């Protein structure tokens, strides 16, 4: 199959947000298509009208855009194509390949229980197959699935998988409300959209033999299939909310960068030697389905944090500032002074693993009346340390070289004069200025906030120390 003909798709259902697992499937499709210069299609599978929402559709589109997974065609909406699906259902009925069924749920459940009790596979017994029923208010349409021989799935990831046709069911392809079921709609849409490669999660493996029979019954060419193993939590159970966030946009809100998410997701089940960090250009060049593992991948949040920290450090300065602005503004901080924001960002980025951590750890830059951490205040804002603060207050106004190096030299000289270690003066200053014992270097902080703000904070801390 030539690259010019390659057409892939990502087809999420808008019944919730874009899940991490779905995002990885979209990414694998996107990379594979870009590598082969094919066409990547986005289709929203919204035929489940009771559960599909516009909010979920928007969330999926937003997540795809945020990740940079731009599509070449679409988004198409499956619900807009119901008439086409219905025509294809009629075609199968006319050809004797599908039939109306009026068996009620309670009847089917009773038959299912009976089959299980007798040690048989609980498949539909074809009660309505030869009855020649016409369409009615409560009828569904079933596809007459071949029941002899075997169907072989030549999976691009898992290899050959054989299914005994005798175990396949006469699946419902149209519900009583006239809407197609997933297995039917996806076959018709993939065929009519010219999809050549179906790359999806391996929870669809058991659907594939039924879909292959539908392709053949409708006279369509069967595409190539590749089923990606699922993602597990650390406990080896399927990834779920109890393992942490599973929505892509939740990670955006938590301060993760899209490059980190992309880099992390691609390494969940795919590898290229020992390389851990990839640019998008490298991924497009290197990605192959042959290198996708056959077993499930385990989600490691610590690895994702490590990658996020890497990208925070590697982001171009102005881009990082622009990405950070919503987090500052969400906290009610004034971001109008771009020079000030640039300095804060430079101070904080070496320590931050997420943008949220960066925003929360830097609140002291924006307010002089910092809240003192009780334990820090109890240790450092005391009469014993007040003399250090007073010495800084008295000497700082005359410091001409108010730079990082100049402040550091000033504090070192002050420590020598007072016969103490630099760390005791620096830590006392840190609590006075930031309210806590952990922050970027206190010399950097003092330069960023400016001499006047530093002096006001020190004066306030002296008062608190004398009261203590």
Residues annotated as catalytic (active site), given as ranges: 241
The span from the CA of 78 to the CA of 184, in Å, is: 11
Residue count of the chain:
468
Q: How far is CA 179 from the centre of its chain?
A: 30
CB atoms within 10 A of CB 407: 24
**Long-range CB contacts (< 8 A, 24+ apart) of 298-301?**
298/231, 298/232, 298/233, 298/234, 298/236, 299/20, 299/231, 299/232, 299/233, 299/234, 299/239, 299/243, 299/268, 300/234, 301/244
Round to whole Å and give the CA distance between 345 and 341: 6
Residues 6 or more apart in contact with residue 247 via CB below 8 angstroms = 16, 17, 18, 19, 20, 59, 63
Q: Tell me, what DSSP letter sits at residue 353?
A: S
d(CA 468, CA 464): 6
DSSP state of 368: S
State the sign of the Cα–Cα–Cα–Cα dihedral 252, 257, 260, 265: positive
Q: Tell me how far apart the alpha carbons of residues 296 and 7 are, in angstroms, rounded to a whole number.
A: 26
* β-pair partners for 164: 150
Contacts of 118 (CB under 8 A, 6+ apart): none
DSSP helix/strand/coil, 143: strand
């Amino acid at each position: 199959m030539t690259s010019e003909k390659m057409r892939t798709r990502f087809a999420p259902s808008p019944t919730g947000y874009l899940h991490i697992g779905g995002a990885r499937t979209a990414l694998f499709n996107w990379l594979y298509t870009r590598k082969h210069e094919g066409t990547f299609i986005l289709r929203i599978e919204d035929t489940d009208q009771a559960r599909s929402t516009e909010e979920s559709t928007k969330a999926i589109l937003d997540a795809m855009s945020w990740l940079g997974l731009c599509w070449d065609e679409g988004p198409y909406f499956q619900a807009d194509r119901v008439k086409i699906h219905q025509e294809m259902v009629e075609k199968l009925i006319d050809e004797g390949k599908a039939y109306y069924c009026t068996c009620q749920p309670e009847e089917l459940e009773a038959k299912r229980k009976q089959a299980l009790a007798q040690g048989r596979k609980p498949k539909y017994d074809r009660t309505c197959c030869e009855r020649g029923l016409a369409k009615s208010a409560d009828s569904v349409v079933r596809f007459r699935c071949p029941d002899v021989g075997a169907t072989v799935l030549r999976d691009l990831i898992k290899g050959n998988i054989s299914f005994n046709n005798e175990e396949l069911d006469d699946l419902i392809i149209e519900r009583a409300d006239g809407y197609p079921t997933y297995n039917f709609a996806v076959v018709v849409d993939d065929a009519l959209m010219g999809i050549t490669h179906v790359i999806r999660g391996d929870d669809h493996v058991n659907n594939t033999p039924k879909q292959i029979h539908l392709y053949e019954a409708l006279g369509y060419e069967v595409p190539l299939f590749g089923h990606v193993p699922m993602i597990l939590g650390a406990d080896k159970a399927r990834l779920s909310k109890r393992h942490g966030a599973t929505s892509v946009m939740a990670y955006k809100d938590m301060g993760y960068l899209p490059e980190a998410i992309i880099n992390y997701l691609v390494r969940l089940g795919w590898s290229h030697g020992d390389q851990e960090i990839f640019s998008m250009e490298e991924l497009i060049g290197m990605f192959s389905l042959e290198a996708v593992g056959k077993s499930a991948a385990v989600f490691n949040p610590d690895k994702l944090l490590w990658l996020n920290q890497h990208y925070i450090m590697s982001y171009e300065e102005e881009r990082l500032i622009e990405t950070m602005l919503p987090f500052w503004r969400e906290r009610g901080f004034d971001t109008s002074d771009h020079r000030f924001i640039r300095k804060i960002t430079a101070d904080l980025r070496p320590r931050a693993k997420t943008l949220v951590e960066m925003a929360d750890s830097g609140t002291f830059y924006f307010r002089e009346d910092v809240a003192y951490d009780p334990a820090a205040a109890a240790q450092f804002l005391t009469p014993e340390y007040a003399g250090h603060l007073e010495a800084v207050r008295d000497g700082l106004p005359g410091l001409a070289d108010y730079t990082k190096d100049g402040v550091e030299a000033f504090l070192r000289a002050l420590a020598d004069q007072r016969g103490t270690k630099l760390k005791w003066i620096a830590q006392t200053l840190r609590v006075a200025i930031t309210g806590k014992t952990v922050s970027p270097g206190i010399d950097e902080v003092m330069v960023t906030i400016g001499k006047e703000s530093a002096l006001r904070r020190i004066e306030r801390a002296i008062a608190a120390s004398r009261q203590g």
